[in-house]
Amino acid sequence: MNPAVRLWLARHGETSWNEAGQLVGWADPGLSPRGRAQARSLRRALSEKSFHSVWTSDLRRAVETATIAQAGSAVHLEVDARLRELRFGAIEGSRWEELSPEVRQGLRAFDGFRAPDGETVEALRSRVWDLVGSLPGGDHLLVTHGGVIR
């Protein structure tokens, strides 16, 4: 990565799945009313900041957050699947208490984790670094997911 690259990382706003405590990886729920309010708060927080580029995951909750947060900005929004959350496979939509102790331990540790029938953290890391490594110097806003930020 170019040392002149500065990343500003923002997680998408809340969805109904987040509110219910469900794991949401590649599922595609939109923002809840609270999530839209969070995106408007992000817009206010970023109002004095100028970005070379703004990138978002292609999942609806991230695109909605980025669109609301960047309303009125002249910077084109770049949508890229490499910024997607970890694919949770068989545990997608599960609540924490429904997960086996082994899966909970793996999620807490994160490094080395692979969701059952899902994606490895290493694969997530590889696709995210592929995008980040391609960025030119400057300040870049990435609107993405908790796993990507982690």
Query: What would the two tokens of residue 88 be?
Result: 């949770």
Q: How far apart are CA 103 and CA 3, in angstroms?
A: 36
User: Model's pTM, two decimal places?
Assistant: 0.93
- Residue 74: the pLDDT is 81
Q: Which of 48, 64, 76, 85 is catalytic?
A: 85
- Residue 73: the pLDDT is 84
Rg (CA), the chain: 16
Q: Which of 12, 14, 64, 145 is catalytic?
A: 12
Q: How far apart are CA 149 and CA 62, in angstroms?
A: 13
- Residue 19: the pLDDT is 95
- Residue 2: the pLDDT is 53
- Residue 39: the pLDDT is 97
- Residue 107: the pLDDT is 95
Query: Strand 77-79's sheet: what is its strand order?
Result: 5-11, 138-144, 53-56, 77-79
- Residue 85: the pLDDT is 98
12 is catalytic: yes
Q: How far apart are CA 25 and CA 135, in angstroms?
A: 25
Low-confidence ranges of the chain (pLDDT < 50): none
Q: How far apart are CA 134 and CA 131, in angstroms?
A: 5
3-state secondary structure of 90: helix
